[in-house]
């Protein structure tokens, strides 16, 4: 069964009956901080029925941040004319659809083959599995939120490259994110804490930003 992230203006999904079929539902609002802190999930349901512009802004944030989980819109006929490929959706379901239909659509999304390389490794000993949205260091699984995973993935794909806080904010969180660069520092600290003895993988370049150390050697942290 799927872990479904449900994003709606009030944080209440119109498809709560999915839990009766064994799916786990995680409910968040359009608030960017809640999106950034969302835990790992398999499918995203975005409610665009009553706040079309707000939902479209959320979709842009997800796309800019490189979210790889399939996105399904919950819509009604009055908003369909505004729905297009630029939302980055994989499917949509109309309000009032039967539970069986929604369940089938979720299962089809889960069965879709990922179009990108499923696993990324490098000399740091860090393994990023894009298919299962998990990360391991020295064979030990890391318990990461979605945004922590995305930040670590981005650094891992560019070992040795120094990113300013502003760059990380725009490339990982997206240009439409409303928070400040302090968010980057908070997530870096959380990642280092979860890396434990391997915290030196994420290095600090004074007055510039952060990088993933290819050799894993300790350097100054902030």
The yes/no answer on whether domain 3-111 falls in CATH 3.40.1280.10 is no
* pLDDT tens, residue by residue, 47-105: 999 899 999 988 888 876 667 788 999 999 999 889 888 888 899 999 888 888 988 99
Smallest CA-to-CA distance from 127 within 117, 119, 213, 66 is with 119
Residue that wins the pLDDT comparison between 185 and 214: 185
Q: Decide whether 3-111 matches 142-212 in CATH topology.
A: no
Could you give the CA distance from residue 65 to residue 154 in angstroms, rounded to a whole number?
10
- For the entire predicted model, the pTM comes to 0.56
Query: Domain locations in the chain?
Result: 3-111, 142-212
Could you give the CA distance from residue 76 to residue 68 in angstroms, rounded to a whole number?
25
Output the average pLDDT for the chain.
82
Angle at 65 between CA 158 and CA 200, to 5 degrees: 40
* pLDDT tens, residue by residue, 152-198: 988 988 888 888 888 888 778 775 566 677 889 999 999 999 999 99
Q: 142-212: which CATH topology?
A: Arc Repressor Mutant, subunit A (1.10.10)
């Amino acid at each position: 069964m799927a872990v479904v992230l449900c994003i709606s203006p009030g944080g209440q999904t119109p498809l709560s009956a999915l839990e009766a079929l064994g799916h786990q539902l995680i409910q968040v609002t359009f608030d960017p901080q809640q999106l950034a802190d969302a835990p790992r999930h398999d499918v995203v349901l975005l409610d665009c029925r009553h706040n079309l512009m707000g939902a479209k802004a959320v979709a842009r944030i997800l796309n800019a941040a490189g979210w790889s989980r399939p996105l399904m819109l919950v819509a009604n006929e009055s908003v369909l004319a505004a729905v297009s490929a630029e939302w980055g959706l994989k499917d949509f379901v109309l309000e009032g659809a039967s539970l069986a239909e929604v369940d089938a659509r979720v299962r089809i999304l889960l069965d879709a083959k990922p179009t990108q390389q499923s696993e990324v490794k490098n000399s740091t000993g860090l393994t990023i599995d894009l298919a299962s949205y998990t990360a391991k260091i020295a064979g030990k699984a890391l318990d990461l939120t979605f945004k922590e995973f995305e930040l670590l993935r981005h650094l891992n794909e560019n070992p040795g490259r120094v990113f300013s806080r502003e760059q990380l904010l725009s490339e990982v969180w997206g240009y439409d994110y409303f928070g400040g660069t302090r968010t980057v520092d908070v997530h870096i600290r959380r990642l280092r804490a979860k890396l434990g003895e391997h915290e030196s993988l994420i290095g600090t370049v004074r007055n510039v930003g952060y990088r993933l150390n290819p050799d894993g050697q300790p350097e100054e942290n902030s």
